[in-house]
Amino acid sequence: MKGLYRPLYNLLTAGETVTSLEHTIHNLRRKNVYAIADYIKEYSKTNEEIRANDKEYKKLAHIQDLNYIALKPSSFNFNSEYIYPLVYYLVRHKKKILIDAENAEHQEKIQTITNECIQRFNTHTISIYKTYQMYRRDSFATLQQDMRIFSRLGVKLVRGAYWNQDKLTGALFLKKSDTDTAFRDAMILALANSQHHTMVCTHNTKDIHFLIDSRVAKQHIVHASLYGFLPELTNTIVRANIETYKYLPYGKMEDAFPYLFRRVLENPYILRYYFI
């Protein structure tokens, strides 16, 4: 199995260790692209696994050229007693935290954890980013509400990565066009609210060109994409003077299978790079 996945793993991740992650961060910075560290381990349940995850995340606090860290609540079994102290540690080391939304089953718990982190840590600056999955029917209304409630909100806009798990829950749009409309509406809302900071995470060409055309002196909007994706368009975004980030998943290869599987299902075109 590892032999089958190895080329795809090498293409879409920053390797298995913090050292390989740092090397990839350095290479990106030479291209005027910034990094988001994304430890790949998900759905940990035992105390031993959770302690190991906590230790791994804390290593990221000491990487000099890294400002953003993605945090998966499932890595800590959605337990706030583990998550809040870790977030405090990372924020104290001047890191910004993008809290993943994950699948619909755990959405209520993630919303509670994320909102509490925003209230605790976005007091003087924006350190916590909330993920809005725009394939969810309720996400645009939630974004509007949060922009009213929170004086400092970090927004991470995505379409969503758990369609195959969640499509029968009733929480998602069933037509791609409805998701596209919601995503565009969220971008327009973000552009109009400069007191918040928005990371637009998309591989959609139309979204990217809309962002480039709309973003005149809009320093509160940045773009992010997955490592290994958009090899041509990334340079276009950089040349448009839009701050540009790459999600850098890293970690043990056996922990990466769910991530790699979701990425290929969402973006099957990536396989053309794999087979060339």
C-alpha 252/C-alpha 15 separation (Å) is: 8
C-alpha 61/C-alpha 89 separation (Å) is: 8
C-alpha 4/C-alpha 204 separation (Å) is: 28
Residue 79 burial (C-beta neighbours within 10 Å; 0-12, 13-18, 19+): middle
- Nearest 5°: phi and psi at 46? -80, 155
pLDDT score for 41 = 93
pLDDT score for 163 = 86
- DSSP-derived 3-state class of residue 231: coil
pLDDT score for 134 = 97
pLDDT score for 97 = 98
- DSSP-derived 3-state class of residue 226: strand
HSE at residue 64, side-chain half, CA atoms within 13 A, is 3
For 207-243, b/e burial (b = at least 16 CB within 10 A) is bbebbbeebeeeeebbbbbbbbbbeebbeebeeeebe
In the chain (276 residues long), the average pLDDT of successive 10-residue segments reads 69 94 97 97 94 97 96 96 98 98 93 97 96 97 98 96 88 96 96 94 94 76 92 90 95 86 66 50
pLDDT score for 49 = 96
Residue (of 85, 26, 36, 37) closest to 59 by Cα position: 37
Which domains are assigned to the chain?
2-275 (3.20.20.220)
Residue 133 burial (C-beta neighbours within 10 Å; 0-12, 13-18, 19+): buried
pLDDT score for 267 = 63
